[in-house]
Structure 1
Amino acid sequence: MFRRLTAIVLAGAIALPALARPIVQESAFWAPEVKKGQMDAAADRVPEVPLVVDLEAKGRQFGTQGGTLRTMVTRTKDVRQMVVYGYARLVGYDHNYQLKPDILRDVDVEEGRIFTLHLRPGHRWSDGAPFTSADFEYWWKHVAQNAELSPNGPPEIMRLGEDIATMTFPDEVTVVVEFPEANPNFLQLLAQASPPFIYRPAHYLKQFHVAFNTKEAMEEMIDAKRVRSWAPLHNKLDNLYKFDNHELPTLQPWKPASTGAAMRHLFVRNPYFHRIDARGVQLPYIDVVEMDIVGSGLVAAKTNAGETDLQARGLDFRDVSILKKGEADGAPYRTYLWSNGAASQIAIYPNLNFADPVWREVMRDARFRRALSLGIDRRMINRALYFGLGKEGGMTALAKSPLFDPANLTQWAIYDPDTANVMLDQMGLNKRTPAGTRLLPDGRPMEFVIETAGERQEVENALAIITDTWRDIGIKLIMRPLDRDILRNRVFSGVTMASVWFGWDNGLPQPSTPPTYLAPTDQVFFAWPKWGQYYQTHGAAGEPVDLEAGKRLMALSMAWQNTEDPVEHREIWREMLKIHADNQFGIGILSEAPQPVVVSDRLRNVPEQGKWAWDPGAHFGVHRIDEFFFADAEQIAQVSE
């Protein structure tokens, strides 16, 4: 376990009793390969020091290996959810949201800035090759610091302000990451749903790197793959998160077994996975995951028909009634209602970096954003779409967070069209068309275009209600559904006026949670994509922050990083949340509407009460999907004597 942790995890040192390593049992799934001599026995496939999971201590059942788990996603790109759900990380959150070593055996932290990562001796990639410090060294020296592969230099996880960390490799099971000052972000970034992979399977990727091949060999591969140069070739094949290259070794519980753009993707158990249960059974329990790609409108119907064993993605609260009816009619599943960890179920983001200078000036006036928020009848939306079960209010920390302040929830978020009209008049937007639509300073009617990903019916239904109430304040809402990728690209390029998405992924922050996502540090916060680009590319793209509230958020985020005082951390968080509530950068509508999770009657160890959250949590990941099992799992082969 961790020997010394920074204040963000635990003060002081902890020492937990280590579980004795049990005798590792052979997997029936891989037994034929073992019998043929094509694969080592299970005892030789797991690390010398595996992660031993005592399920009974967690209140779970020991399971049986076997079976195929069916689930669905709505886009080919979403096969990467297997990396999210699998949630094998260097360090990760446990079910109590405490950071613990996972892929790593241990972590030492000195002065809050020197992180010594201890690998598990004997750990191997999914193809059987050793996983050692050489894989970190390859990434650091030949990917992160290679100008062609990483034109912006090392990624954010290896930076602290303008300073770049160092990475050294004392031996094959030790990696040292050193920052010039304390960095309370580092471990938490490693535990993300979409983690920064600071290692690569060097033995596989070297064949595509110019430093390890002749010019002639590289040119032959470049021609064969029809790419411009070696760098796009390497980048195309090197993505541990996308999970779209079945030849790329992985450390996740399952590895891809499908090729091409199929509508059904298969993932089989990783024979070298590092977790075992206390009886010596290697995880994951489930042998195969079958992921079907279906239209977004079909997920609920197919789930209702019993065509999935574990499903939450693609289901909304509006689907609960039909799912419960199917359950009552004898469909072989249970419908759980998990809490939702997003700061807002639906949030509107006026784009402060919009390319139209007239609209940009209007949207940058906080009075305009406040008026939009005051013009939303959240109670009507809650009753119409969520049977009153959502929590109405703006986007802020949720009630279960120690940083929750009810004043932030209600600020500029109580339906008040009269005050909204006064604010807009005070801005000089007091001229209207005969139909009552206000005019912009250049005389154009205020047609406010909100673009959506077109994936959630609840979003369109909410915007339909908002269309009516905004009409009363003289703003004509125009909804434009788009493909998700098109929407994101339009937002990032500054041609989207406004968009709608979820609120912050982490609606339950602690004072020890890095508040980076409240500052203009990332283009994925749709209110300031250009500011985020500027920060992420170190000024190579985007625009510098030129709004005082945005500058203050940046300063506060930096101040949080530069102190280890928990009292200061809390005060910084409180000020940042107050700035957001006052400025309405993201106009939240409601939060905490339950997330339906459908579970096969045969599936075990799925918590009836859980949290559906992207970060922290990785959706099913923090609940350890590798520990789920089928009650009637049948081995596909018998272990040979």
Structure 2
Amino acid sequence: MITRRTALTLLASVALPSITFAEAPYFATDVRLGNLPPLPERLPRNPRVIDMPALGRTTGRYSGSMRMLISGQRDIRLIPIYSYARLVGYDADLKLVTDLLASFEAVDDRIYTLRLREGHRWSDGSPFTAEDFRYCWDDMMNNAELYRGGPPVDLIADGKVVEFSVIDPLTVRYTFASPMPDFLPKLAAPLPLILFVPQAYMKQFHASYQTPEKLAELVEVNRVDDWQSLHAKMVRSIRPENPDLPTLEAWRPRTAPPAEQFVFERNPYFHRVDQIGQQLPYFDRIVLSVASAEIIPAKTATGESDLQANGISFPDYTLMKQAEKQHPLKVSLWRRTQGSSVSLLPNLNCNDEVWRKLFQDVRMRRALSVAINRKELNKVNFFGLGRESADTVLPESQLYRPEYASAWAQYDPDLANALLDELGLAERGGGNIRILPDGRQAGIVVETSGESNLEVDVLELIADHMRDVGIAIYIRSTQRDVFRSRAMGGEVQMAVWQGLDNAVPTADMSPDGLAPTSSDQLQWPVWGTWYMSGETAGKAPDLPEAVQLIDLLQQWRKSTTTEQRTEIWAQMLTLWADQVFSIGTVNSAPQPIVRAARMRNVPEDALYGFTPTSFLGAYMPDTFYNARE
């Protein structure tokens, strides 16, 4: 990566010589009628050229609609993750490459100069320039009415806010007071650090650019309380609910919620082309149909989806393979990148004082972990194809050590009983369940988002294991947004979720998943909020080991060499494994990827996870297409 006193410059893909750009038939009529400029005028002067043969892929043809299934309208957020247009992004080999950027220069992990592609445009045809970055910085992040706490913590180093400057209409610079080695990885994330917005569109919703009368009218029409809420609603790109918001992604939303079907159509100004000049994506539309989570596997098996990973898991593999014989489907198995397919997350911030004290005692977490028979879970739920392990990095990562995987992951009910007795829970009541210090039975309500049959299947087995050591487990399914809200409010005792999002990291990727840094971390959401908010919300962690993880993370952020970062990762992984903040079960479980049999350029073998591959994003779904039947 970048070391002290050095600079790294990464250039964009260079356009191949003598390309003749080919117009997509989808836009031919609009071009002929003058509603759209011809393709050469819509592309940047230096578009990103994707050389299909060089990637081991076939040059595609324009195709119609790609159908997918989602379990609710919130899942429309998958499309910008799949499309994965980023300033810089990870390729299939997990190397950073320029995408929206023409080039960048990074000096000492501290000074980042970003250069845009000349002539690049948003999906509505407005220019994508440094002004979009300036507006985001000056008029949003440094506007106290929109960002009450000031710029996000990701733009603060050593307590000092980054210095932003516009060099020219296509070049911006971010200068940090000290090294910020995860700046580029955050730009490449599935939910990236937002540095720019389409200012030409957004100014109409901003008090500095719009009349009070018009703002009041827009507030009323959009059913919000004030112009700040209006601006926040209209600018939201992570969940693309505003079809009028310009985008740089491959597909733009055409449907506003509520709806049972959401249509995304190709972006006429998308910046990628293949090596023969065809503008990507190959698919003209993505159509998302809402179905209940329980029937997504069945609908997929009957051919109602052309590409499906969301909503299906390994237990559905047998059904999918049988469906291959009856429907034109193809099923592949990718490798999941999570530290655990299913993890138990004791909420160290829960409101219940008795359970909070117990969960913050490492003996409790260790006891719960060694009470689990992971071999049985693997055999029953994964046909023995997974790896019994704590929640940690995978062997595919250069940071892996066997002791991380084995830490407190052995099946040892005798040790679990001894640890629970030592905690003062020796007394038992009805059903041989232990008695808490306040006289209640030791029953833990484990909450799920209700979207995964695998989670429930695993939990049912774990409930048997826990009962053997005197702990009762009760399973409660809750809608995802309610589930997270309850966790933030301290109402969730224990959650079930996947393990570490990125279990295939390099030392130059941030270890922030190992420390309390986000409200999404269900084992310590209040502490995570404190960090994420720049110490303006939530509560500071008061558990020494959690504080130590944050201190180590801060050391990583100030590091300047890969060697330093490797050592810090090792310390954090060792502490994480010993403290069992996340109780892992089985990892490396295969993820079924189901596609129409005639769909091409979908990898047969790949990594699948939120981070770092952005699910399908690193494999460029804009290059997928249907072969002729």
TM-score, shorter chain, exceeding 0.5: yes
Match of 2:185 in 1: 188
1:242-321 → structure 2 map (5 Å cutoff) = 242-321=239-318
CA drift of 1:72 comes to 1.0
Amino acid at match of 1:410: S
Report the Cα distance in structure 1 between the residues aligned to 2:51 and 2:491, rounded to whole angstroms. 52
Amino acid at match of 2:395: A
Report the Cα distance in structure 2 between the residues aligned to 1:62 and 1:434, rounded to whole angstroms. 67
CA drift of 1:13 comes to 5.7
User: 24, 33, 37: which is aligned to 1:36?
Assistant: 33
Match of 1:540 in 2: 536
Report the Cα distance in structure 1 between the residues aligned to 2:252 and 2:359, rounded to whole angstroms. 46
CA drift of 1:201 comes to 0.6
User: 534, 553, 558: which is aligned to 2:554?
Assistant: 558
Report the Cα distance in structure 2 between the residues aligned to 1:170 and 1:348, rounded to whole angstroms. 49
C-alpha change, 1:45 and 1:57, in structure 2 (3 Å) is: same
Match of 1:146 in 2: 143
C-alpha change, 1:493 and 1:568, in structure 2 (3 Å) is: same
SS in 1 for 2:137: helix
Gaps of 5+ in 2: none
Match of 1:478 in 2: 474
Question: Is 1:376 equivalent to 2:372 in the alignment?
Answer: yes
SS in 1 for 2:101: coil
User: Is contact 2:11-2:98 (8 Å) kept?
Assistant: no
Alignment deviations for residues 159-183 of structure 1 (CA, whole Å, 9 cap, x no partner): 1241110211121111111111121
Report the Cα distance in structure 1 between the residues aligned to 2:148 and 2:541, rounded to whole angstroms. 23
User: Is contact 1:275-1:283 (8 Å) kept?
Assistant: yes
Report the Cα distance in structure 2 between the residues aligned to 1:36 and 1:123, rounded to whole angstroms. 23
User: 323, 330, 350: which is aligned to 2:346?
Assistant: 350
Match of 1:638 in 2: none
CA drift of 1:155 comes to 1.4
User: 200, 205, 221: which is aligned to 1:203?
Assistant: 200
Report the Cα distance in structure 2 between the residues aligned to 1:487 and 1:160, rounded to whole angstroms. 33
C-alpha change, 1:260 and 1:527, in structure 2 (3 Å) is: closer
CA drift of 1:269 comes to 0.7
User: 42, 47, 68: which is aligned to 1:45?
Assistant: 42
User: 582, 588, 592: which is aligned to 2:584?
Assistant: 588
SS in 2 for 1:40: coil
Question: Is 1:603 equivalent to 2:604 in the alignment?
Answer: no
Match of 2:209 in 1: 212
CA drift of 1:102 comes to 0.2
Report the Cα distance in structure 2 between the residues aligned to 1:92 and 1:550, rounded to whole angstroms. 30
C-alpha change, 1:13 and 1:143, in structure 2 (3 Å) is: closer
SS in 1 for 2:475: strand
Deviates more, 1:37-46 or 1:438-447: 438-447
User: 590, 595, 615: which is aligned to 1:619?
Assistant: 615
Amino acid at match of 2:92: H
C-alpha change, 1:247 and 1:12, in structure 2 (3 Å) is: closer
Deviates more, 1:169-178 or 1:248-257: 169-178
CA drift of 1:11 comes to 8.2
User: Is contact 1:29-1:66 (8 Å) kept?
Assistant: no
Match of 1:419 in 2: 415
User: Is contact 1:126-1:251 (8 Å) kept?
Assistant: yes
Match of 2:113 in 1: 116
CA drift of 1:259 comes to 2.7
Amino acid at match of 1:25: A
Amino acid at match of 1:594: P
SS in 2 for 1:579: helix
Amino acid at match of 2:172: V
Report the Cα distance in structure 1 between the residues aligned to 2:454 and 2:603, rounded to whole angstroms. 26
The 4+ residue runs of structure 1 with deviation greater than 4 A are 10-17
CA drift of 1:539 comes to 2.4
Match of 2:99 in 1: 102
- TM-score, normalised to structure 2, is 0.98
User: 158, 172, 176: which is aligned to 1:175?
Assistant: 172
User: Is contact 1:348-1:501 (8 Å) kept?
Assistant: yes
Alignment deviations for residues 504-552 of structure 1 (CA, whole Å, 9 cap, x no partner): 1101111111111111111211111111111112222211111111111
User: 515, 518, 521: which is aligned to 1:522?
Assistant: 518
Amino acid at match of 2:372: I
Report the Cα distance in structure 1 between the residues aligned to 2:554 and 2:585, rounded to whole angstroms. 29
Alignment deviations for residues 174-207 of structure 1 (CA, whole Å, 9 cap, x no partner): 1111111121110000000111221011111100
Alignment deviations for residues 245-278 of structure 1 (CA, whole Å, 9 cap, x no partner): 0000000001111233111111111000000111
Alignment deviations for residues 564-597 of structure 1 (CA, whole Å, 9 cap, x no partner): 1222211111111111111110000110110000
CA drift of 1:403 comes to 1.2
- TM-score, normalised to structure 1, is 0.96
Question: Is 1:407 equivalent to 2:389 in the alignment?
Answer: no
Question: Is 1:464 equivalent to 2:460 in the alignment?
Answer: yes
Amino acid at match of 1:530: V
SS in 1 for 2:585: strand
Match of 2:89 in 1: 92
CA drift of 1:407 comes to 1.2
Match of 2:79 in 1: 82
Report the Cα distance in structure 2 between the residues aligned to 1:12 and 1:48, rounded to whole angstroms. 24
Report the Cα distance in structure 1 between the residues aligned to 2:210 and 2:464, rounded to whole angstroms. 64
Match of 1:513 in 2: 509
Report the Cα distance in structure 2 between the residues aligned to 1:194 and 1:565, rounded to whole angstroms. 26
SS in 2 for 1:210: coil
Q: How many percent of aligned residue pairs carry the same amino acid? A: 38
Question: Is 1:337 equivalent to 2:330 in the alignment?
Answer: no
Match of 2:445 in 1: 449
User: 143, 161, 166: which is aligned to 2:163?
Assistant: 166
SS in 2 for 1:303: helix
Report the Cα distance in structure 1 between the residues aligned to 2:601 and 2:566, rounded to whole angstroms. 36
User: 609, 625, 629: which is aligned to 1:629?
Assistant: 625
Deviates more, 1:125-134 or 1:224-233: 224-233
User: Is contact 1:197-1:240 (8 Å) kept?
Assistant: no
CA drift of 1:20 comes to 3.0
Report the Cα distance in structure 2 between the residues aligned to 1:17 and 1:188, rounded to whole angstroms. 19
CA drift of 1:16 comes to 8.8
C-alpha change, 1:591 and 1:203, in structure 2 (3 Å) is: same
User: Is contact 1:349-1:526 (8 Å) kept?
Assistant: yes
CA drift of 1:24 comes to 1.2
CA drift of 1:17 comes to 8.1
User: 419, 426, 429: which is aligned to 2:425?
Assistant: 429
Amino acid at match of 2:423: M
Deviates more, 1:386-395 or 1:257-266: 257-266
CA drift of 1:58 comes to 0.6
Report the Cα distance in structure 2 between the residues aligned to 1:48 and 1:622, rounded to whole angstroms. 24
SS in 1 for 2:283: coil
User: 229, 234, 238: which is aligned to 2:235?
Assistant: 238
Match of 1:20 in 2: 16
Amino acid at match of 1:507: A
CA drift of 1:462 comes to 1.1
User: 220, 237, 243: which is aligned to 1:223?
Assistant: 220
User: Is contact 1:408-1:578 (8 Å) kept?
Assistant: yes
Amino acid at match of 1:540: T
Amino acid at match of 2:247: T
Deviates more, 1:614-623 or 1:153-162: 153-162
CA drift of 1:157 comes to 2.6
Q: CA RMSD in A?
A: 1.5
Deviates more, 1:240-249 or 1:11-20: 11-20
Match of 1:58 in 2: 55
Aligned residues: 627
Report the Cα distance in structure 2 between the residues aligned to 1:439 and 1:510, rounded to whole angstroms. 45
C-alpha change, 1:12 and 1:137, in structure 2 (3 Å) is: closer
